[in-house]
Amino acid sequence: MELHIEGVTVELGGSLICRDVSFEVPSGSLVGLVGPNGSGKTTLLRTVYRLLRPRLGRVVAGGDDVWSLSPRDSARRTAVVVQEPAHDFDFTVSAVVGMGRTPHKRGFERDSANDRMLVADAIARVGMTALAERPFGTLSGGEKQRTLIARSVAQQAQVLVLDEPTNHLDLRYQLETLQLITSLGVTSIMAIHDVNLASQFCDEVVLMRQGAIHSAGPTGAVLSAEAIQDLFEVDVEVATTASGHNTFWLGTRVAEAANSP
């Protein structure tokens, strides 16, 4: 399922947070939103999963404006994984993953055999079967992220929205989380700060600054040392790995542009 962001402008509290943002997320690809804090990444994602209605423009998933869909139909198309929750669910892993079946039910309809099978399969897919009956609040950060991704798998959505999915995770869980996301084969869009992870895992990137697009396109072409220095105002060096991905080293001093009047 393709995702199209078409001229999205978002205003909050009288301030423009996103300005005329347009790009496409090809079916089955992973597109990363990269930019400094306050560049509008999270706000833009919230328009994709209908938490914020844009003042102008629209978000089109599978050929339909997301705001033309009912909340249930929208949830059947788009799943969301936000940063690690500030609170702990008082539910087991199985129960949290089972919440992904809610858009496919009516009222207080009980779980069917098919629901239970899909939940078990989703848990197995993220490697959490041994922890299926563990309380969510007792899990590590990486285990929580895998549980929330399993919930999106059980939801059977074709578009996955992720807001900093590797935030607060150690290196191992960062890699495992992104490997898991790319293995799902669904259309995915995520905000991410780590430019090296973006270089390794994203098919395309959208660089954002002050609510607008700085540049966008295939990761290898767009995510350059010059672009990173321009966005973040730090010195950057780059090398290309044997696998063809760029690796970036941030300098020990802030670039000259940051100190300019």
The confidence score (pLDDT) of residue 253 equals 54
Place of tokens 């935030």: 167
Sign of the torsion angle spanned by Cα atoms 118, 81, 166, 4: positive
Structure token digits, residue 106: 């009516």
3-state SS of the chain?
Answer: CCEEEEEEEEEECCEEEEEEEEEEECCCCEEEEECCCCCCHHHHHHHHCCCCCCCEEEEEECCEEHHHCCHHHHHHHEEEECCCCCCCCCCEHHHHHHHHHHHHCCCCCCCCHHHHHHHHHHHHHCCCHHHCCCEHHHCCHHHHHHHHHHHHHHHCCCEEEEECCCCCCCHHHHHHHHHHHHHCCCEEEEECCCHHHHHHHCCEEEEEECCEEEEEEEHHHHCCHHHHHHHHCEEEEEEECCCCCEEEEEEEEECHHHHCC
Tens of pLDDT, residue by residue, the chain (261 residues): 999 999 999 999 999 999 999 999 999 999 999 999 999 999 999 999 999 999 999 999 999 999 999 999 999 999 999 875 555 668 999 999 999 999 998 877 888 999 999 999 999 999 999 999 999 999 998 999 999 999 999 999 999 999 999 988 889 999 999 999 999 999 999 999 999 999 999 999 999 999 999 999 999 999 999 999 999 988 888 887 777 788 888 775 554 544 444
Its pTM stands at 0.90
Sign of the alpha-carbon torsion through 122, 125, 128, 130: positive
